[in-house]
Structure formats: structure tokens, C-alpha cells
Amino acid sequence: MRKVAVVGVGMTKFGERWEAGLKELTAEAGIRAIEDAGISGDEVEAVYVGNMSGGRFVGQEHIGALLADAMGLNPVPATRVEAACASGGLAFRQAYLAVASGEFDIVVAGGIEKMTDVLTGQATTTLGGAADQEWETFFGATFPSLYALIARRHMHEFGTTEEQLARVAVKNHYNGARNPFAQYQKEITLDQVLNSSPVAEPLKLLDCSPITDGAAAVVIASEDVAKKLTDTPVWVNASAQASDTLALHDRKSLTTLRATVEAGKKAFQKAGISPRDVDLAEVHDCFTIAEILAVEDLGFVKKGEGGKAVEDGMFDLNSDVSVNTSGGLKACGHPVGATGIKQVVEVTWQLRGEAGKRQVDKAEIGLTHNVGGSGATAVVHILSRYIDLRSRR
């Protein structure tokens, strides 16, 4: 397989974007990424777009061709990829495979979700499409309730506390306050989280990621092309993906996302590094408990020690591993199909030293972790300044 690098990135401001639809958001992010790569649209050979539920949010399927056209890239092959909230991560992975295969040299991977143009409650119902319709959604389960079950069990098994969960939100808002693209650019306190309205106990409003409009895009290229285009390519050292049952009741454990464990292991093996080599990670914190699962399942800490590690500041900006420097899903926002691509955008900015007030010192190796639903899909990418992490060349 050929080596692949990220050579251009762009994203929209995340938030309630009442003035913009699917096409406008995609064009904004896509054109920024193409300009950042210093190429013209004519040089793009294919497009992959992550989108979860355009059909239900705005009545629009067939998103690939539509958005390629909106970016001015018609008639290149355009493909939509969907795996609920992991749609963006999977679009990046398919784009990576297409370049690695030798089929294309320059590909755009984008992600988009327009979530706010719906009636109250309808966004949560639509997101329910990511869970098992016949066994979960139909009976009234929503994602806050599914993750609340996970949180309650984690508290029971490992003594994780509501304060520790809240600490994830405080950290991610600290980072989001330093990200001009974030939906919520303000810090919050532990008390604010603990006193926010209950959504599905033990999860409160400020334990939950928001409903967000937004798009993100990256340009990736094969080794030869990447070296010509930029002096700061960000190499894709590993791409790995795994699945699990959609329904929580089919799993052996509520407190481990098996898909994350599998994808993480494979990714570290492919890259030839261990979790302790990672400088920064964008992990899937759709709820605060999800970040705790992620840091455990990816191997940054042992199972059960995530809450304590968060409390001790292990994942704060410029600590052991800077986690969710973008603000994460919690503060940067979570336009579901775009999140996986935004993670790659953030890691690229960090590895290039372009992350401004939230810059991680000497950032060399970054990881992205994108989850679909309550963990039926997980995809992990390892990116770095080095084309080969084994020899660090």
C-alpha cells in the first residue's frame, strides 16, 4: 500500500448555522481545504463525504454527488459513507484506502451535518437511527439514555464519580474557549456542570454534546504528490476500523467499547507505536462518559482508571496526552457526519503548529477516535510528522 498524507484542511465555524444549508457549509469547508492544499479543484480526483442522516434531517440523500458539485468538483467520483456519528472517520478511511490503492493521487474527504432545521425533539429522534431500531429506538431508548446506562455501570464497577464525568466537560470547554471554530467558546466550572439539568441521570445537560451544523474537509495525497505540494505533510501512519452489535444488550460488557479496543490495537500495531507515544488525541466525547471509555479502551490508562486520570489532569492541554484540544464534541460541537473529519483537521493543525492558543508543545504524533452510535462502529487513525514512525524518519 502507498503512503498517504494530509496536505490541506478546512472547516466551517460549528454551531447553529441558520443562514447555511448542506451545500453552503460543504462549499465553505471544501474550498478552504483545497486552498489550504494550494491546488486547484481540477486536480482533485475523487470525493468522499461522511454524512449520517441527510435524508431525515433535510430530506436529502445522494449527498456525495450533490456536495462534489457544490465544491465545484463535478464530474469526479463522489461517494457518501455512513456509519452514524463515525461517518466522517469512515469517509476519511475510504479516501485513504482509495489513495493507498493507487487508484487516485489527490482526494478530498469531507464530512457534513445540518441538524438544526428540525422541530424540537426531532434531532434526538433522528439520531436514534444510529441505535438498533427494532430493539432499542422503537421502545423509546435515546442516546442520552443508552450512555446513561453505560455511565451508571461504570460508576458501579469502578467507583467513577459524577464529578469526574463533569471534569471532562470542564476540560473540553477550556480547550473550546481557545478554538475560533468551536460552537461554545467559553469556559465552564465544575459546579455549572453538576448543577445543570438532568437529561438521563447521571448525565446532565453539560455532560452532553450539542446539536450542531457544520462541515469539515481535508485533502489527502499520495507520497510523491504530497512531497511536491507541501513542506509540512501530515502522514497517515495507521487507519483501523472495527464493529460491534448495535444493541447494548447483545454485548458482554457495558463498560468497554469492543470496537474501540479492536480498532485501537490494530492502529497502534500498524503504526508501530504504543499509546504512550501519542502527544494528542481527538476522542469521541459525545457524552462525558464516552471520553472516559475512550481513554481506557485506547490504552492511555487501564480500564476503570479513566475517571481518576481525568481528575488528575492527565488529559489536560500540554499534560501527558492532550485530549480533545479542539474542545471535543462537547464544546467544539458535534455535527455528526463532520466530527470524524474535524478530528483530522484539528490534529493536522496541531502537528503543523497552527493551533494558536490551544497549541500542544512539540506535537509530533496525534490520534483520532470516532465512534458510531453507542459503539457499534469505531475508527482510529494515527497521524504524525513522520512518514514512518518505526524509524521516525
Among 81, 109, 273, 347, binds its own copies (CB under 8 A): 81
Q: Which of residues 203-262 bind its own copies (CB under 8 A)?
A: 240-246, 250, 258-259, 262
- Reported in sequence order, the residue ranges of 229-289 that DSSP labels E, i.e. its strands, are 234-243, 280-282
DSSP run (H or E) holding 269: helix 258-271
137 binds its own copies (CB under 8 A): yes
1, burial (CB in 10 Å: exposed 0-12, middle 13-18, buried 19+): exposed
From the CB of 378, what's the least distance to its own copies, in Å? Answer: 9
Distance CA 114, CA 51 (A): 9
Measure the CA–CA gap between 303 and 314, rounded to whole angstroms: 15
Point out which span in 191-199, 271-279, 309-317, 375-383 binds its own copies (CB under 8 A): 375-383
- Please count the other Cβ atoms lying within 10 Å of the Cβ belonging to residue 349: 23
Give residue for cell 490534529. Answer: 347
Which member of 85, 208, 286, 332 is catalytic? Answer: 85
Q: Is 334 a catalytic residue?
A: yes
Cβ pair 142, 200 in contact under 8 A: yes
Piece of 203-211, 295-303, 305-313, 373-381 that binds its own copies (CB under 8 A):
373-381
For residues 114 and 332, give the distance between their C-alpha atoms in angstroms, rounded to a whole number.
15
Q: Smallest distance, Å, CB 75 to its own copies?
A: 5
Amino acid at residue number 257: L
Q: Which of 9, 66, 273, 347 binds its own copies (CB under 8 A)?
A: 66
Query: Does residue 195 interact with its own copies by CB under 8 A?
Result: no
Tell me, yes or no, if 286 is annotated catalytic. no
Interface with its own copies, residue 83, by CB under 8 A: yes
Where does this chain touch its own copies (CB under 8 A) — which range of 26-34, 83-91, 154-162, 285-293? 83-91
Task: Tell whether residue 80 is a contact of its own copies (CB under 8 A).
Answer: yes
Exposure string for 43-57, b = 16+ CB within 10 A, e = fewer: ebbbbbbbbbbbebb
Q: How far is the CB of 62 from its own copies (least distance, A)?
A: 4
* Integer Cα distance of 326 and 308 in angstroms: 22
| Minimum CB–partner distance for residue 58 and its own copies (Å) | 6
Q: What are phi and psi of 153, to 5 degrees?
A: -70, -40
Provide the greatest CA pair distance for the chain. Answer: 56
Residue (of 383, 68, 17, 373) closest to 217 by Cα position: 68
Question: How many residues line the site for its own copies (CB under 8 A)?
Answer: 66
**301 is written with which cell numbers?**
490508562
Q: If binding is defined by CB under 8 A, does position 149 make contact with its own copies?
A: no
Task: Spell out, one character per residue from 263 to 302, where the chain touches its own copies: x when CB under 8 A holds, - when not.
Answer: ----------------------------------------
| 180 cis-preceded (ω within 30 degrees of 0) | no
DSSP character at residue 213: B
Mask of contacts with its own copies, 87-116, x by CB under 8 A?
A: ---x--xx--xx-xxxx-------------
Instruction: Answer yes or no: are the C-beta atoms of 327 and 179 closer than 8 Å.
Output: yes
Tell me the closest approach of the beta carbon of residue 302 to its own copies, in angstroms: 22
d(Cα 349, Cα 36) in Å, to the nearest integer? 11
CA separation for the pair 32, 77 (Å, rounded): 20
Site string for its own copies, 7-36 (x = CB under 8 A): --------------x-x-------------
Stretch that binds its own copies, among 54-62, 149-157, 227-235, 300-308 (CB under 8 A): 54-62
Q: Is 136 in the site for its own copies (CB under 8 A)?
A: no
Q: Which is nearer to its own copies, 165 or 236 (CB)?
A: 236
Chain residues binding its own copies by CB under 8 A are: 1, 21, 23, 47, 52-56, 58-66, 68-69, 74-84, 90, 93-94, 97-98, 100-103, 126, 128-134, 137-138, 240-246, 250, 258-259, 262, 372-373, 376-377, 379
Active site residues: 85, 334
